[in-house]
Every structure is written in structure tokens, then in C-alpha cells.
Amino acid sequence: MRNIPRNSSEPTELTTLRQSGDEDFGPLDAPLDAMFEGVCAYCERKPLWRSRQDGVGADDTDLPDREGLFFTCDHVRPRRLLCNPDPSVGQCTAKSPPHRFDCVIYDWHNLVYACQPCNAVKGGQWPTDGDVAVSYINPCEHPDNPAAPNRVFEYDLDSGRLTVRGDVSGVPRANAVQTIRDLALNDPRGRIEKTSYSAGERRISLAELRLRWVSDLRKTLDIIVEVAPSTLTDVARGFVSSDARFSSIARQFVEGSRYRHYLT
């Protein structure tokens, strides 16, 4: 999971939605796509339908017979805990639209851009009251916040698995562990389906996808350093740019490799 700077003011699409009291968050797809640069806030994948050259279905989706990912607006803290007729559960008691102008389902700081598999896996989950964990890691936390993704997460480059940094403890560690588990950030998602790209039935784990990405990155840089070294800076920076898929594991790999000086 990467850090995403949050625009300070809400987009006009959200203001219009708030004024109507409606629950159709579809109009937010475009501004969220722009802010998150087309990358899922949770798993760091990109929707293949935006660019057919940006990955191959068999290698880059949970369900390889699907052409690509579809993205949606997700409430980090789920709606069931925000807007509920029981005042002891929710902060807004509206049962259905129209909602009040100040209803917390319209809180800009609680909305992120997520691929449909992440949104479906997360669903209405939230750390249970009484557990050590009290929330999920929010990708829009300020990088200096101890709860920010860059402060709590790292990757095992031998497996591609997202892990919790060894120096993280207490509630931040519990939150990070539960975020990985509940959002299945290392695991296959959804039900097993037959694929048109390969025989049999399979699902691809996010850890496997990341590992393949790092392997391809290593091979690419090793080739370019031999045949076109003058382009290495642009290539390395492209892999770790904010609009690249799996940019956080790519950055960790490059910063720990002989190519790290190409990022400075």
C-alpha cells in the first residue's frame, strides 16, 4: 500500500452529491481516478481497460479470464458505521436518501479509489470492538504520521508479500496486520473460475503478482544497463512513480539495489 496525498478540498462532484442527499457515488469516479492516478488505494493495481498495453490479463488479474479491473469509490470506514438508524452505531440516523447535508457518508477524507476486488473483499468489514486493532491503515494518512502506509508496511522481496515493519508495535501494528488480513492483500480473491488463458482452475495471489513485477523490473533494468544505460534514470523512476502499479514494492527493490542512485 502506498501513500496518497489527499486533496485538501472536496471536488465539486461530491458537493453536488451532498446537496442532493443522494447515495450514488458514481460521479466521484473521475475525480478519484485523477487523485489516485488510476491506481487502487489498497492493492496498487491499475485497471487494464484504461490501457490494454498496461499488463496482460493472464498475469495481472485475480480472474485471468477477465479483461481488466473496474474501479469504484470506497468508504474506508464502512457506510454501516457511518449512517445507521441506530444512533449508537452510526453518526447519521437517516434510513435512506435524502441524507442531511452534513451526513458523514460524504466525508471526503473517508473516500478512496479502489478496484472492485478490493472493495468486494473489504465489504463492510471493520476491526471489531474490543480487538487491539481499531481501524484499517488509511492510504491517505500524512507520510509523517506513524499510522501512514510507509511507516508501517514493507515487503518481503523473496515472496512479494506485504508485511509489517519490525519496528512497529502496539495498536499501529495490530491495525496493519488486520488491514493485510481483512483486505487479503497477499492472497487470491474471489471464487475460483475457469480461465480462457490457461487450462484448469486457478486464482493468482497479490503476493505472486508483486513478485512477478519485481522479477520483471530486475530483468528490465539488467538489460537496459547493458544496451541503453542513458535511459535507466527514466525507466527506474517510471517504475516507482505514483501512477505506476505496485510502485511501493518497486521502490523498495530499487532503493536496495545497485540501481538506487538512478532515483536521486
With beta carbons less than 8 A apart as the criterion, state whether 259 and 221 touch. yes
Residue among 121, 130, 132 at smallest CA distance from 180: 121
- For residue 260, what pLDDT is reported? 95
What is the rounded distance in angstroms from the CA atom of residue 160 to the CA atom of residue 212?
8
Question: Following DSSP, what letter does each residue of 83-142 receive, concatenated?
Answer: B-SSTTT-SB---SSSPPTT-GGG-GGGEEEEEHHHHHHHTT--PPTTSS--SPPPTTS-
10 Å Cβ neighbour count for 196?
10
What is the rounded distance in angstroms from the CA atom of residue 48 to the CA atom of residue 187?
20
With beta carbons less than 8 A apart as the criterion, state whether 183 and 135 touch. no
10 Å Cβ neighbour count for 49?
13
Half-sphere exposure of 59 (CA within 13 A, CB side): 11
The model's pTM? 0.86
With beta carbons less than 8 A apart as the criterion, state whether 142 and 152 touch. no
Alpha helices in the chain (DSSP H): 12-20, 29-35, 57-60, 116-122, 149-152, 170-182, 206-227, 232-240, 247-255
- For residue 113, what pLDDT is reported? 93
What is the rounded distance in angstroms from the CA atom of residue 78 to the CA atom of residue 209?
27
Distances (CA, A) of 98 to 9, 60, 136: 23, 40, 29
- For residue 117, what pLDDT is reported? 82
- For residue 209, what pLDDT is reported? 87
With beta carbons less than 8 A apart as the criterion, state whether 148 and 142 touch. yes
Amino acid (one-letter) located at 44: E
Q: Digits of tens for pLDDT over the chain (264 positions)?
A: 999 988 778 999 999 999 999 889 989 988 999 999 989 999 998 865 444 444 434 344 444 434 456 788 999 999 888 877 676 666 677 767 888 888 889 999 999 999 888 888 898 899 976 678 899 999 999 889 999 999 999 999 999 999 999 999 999 999 999 999 999 999 876 544 433 333 334 467 889 889 989 999 999 999 999 999 999 999 999 999 999 989 999 999 999 999 999 998
10 Å Cβ neighbour count for 42?
28
- For residue 198, what pLDDT is reported? 38
What is the rounded distance in angstroms from the CA atom of residue 81 to the CA atom of residue 88?
10
- For residue 253, what pLDDT is reported? 97
Angle at 84 between CA 78 and CA 90, to 5 degrees: 70
